[in-house]
Amino acid sequence: MSVGERLQQARVAAGLTVADLADQTKIRATIITAIEQDDFSYCGGVTYARGQIRSLAKALRTDAVPILVEFEIQIGLPPSAH
């Protein structure tokens, strides 16, 4: 399962809309939507993407580590220590 699929599945399971999650995390809805579509170009770079993924996972009460590992694999980076 991709990063976007994991986060979207967790958001839907939590009963939240993208707008709800944007309000909770202060991450723009357009960025959340892009991340859920595995488009990280709106994130502002790898470091920002990691932070946004971590914030989304925290708001969704899900473990960020496996999602971050999958993110690094998806974009072709060697997994780092979290």
The total domain count for the chain is 1
Residue 21: inside a domain, yes or no?
yes
Domain interval for residue 34: 3-74
CA–CA–CA angle 40, 3, 22 (5° rounding) = 65
Which two three-digit tokens encode residue 21?
């999650």
17-44 confidence digits (pLDDT tens): 999 999 999 999 999 999 999 999 999 9
Interacting residues of 45 by C-beta distance below 8 A, sequence separation 6+:
none
Residue from 21, 75, 17, 80 nearest 49 by CA: 75
Rounded to whole angstroms, how far apart are CA atoms 52 and 56? 6
At 35, which CATH number?
1.10.260.40
| Domain assignment of residue 61, yes or no | yes
The pTM of this model reads 0.91
81 is a domain residue? no
Q: Is residue 69 part of a domain?
A: yes
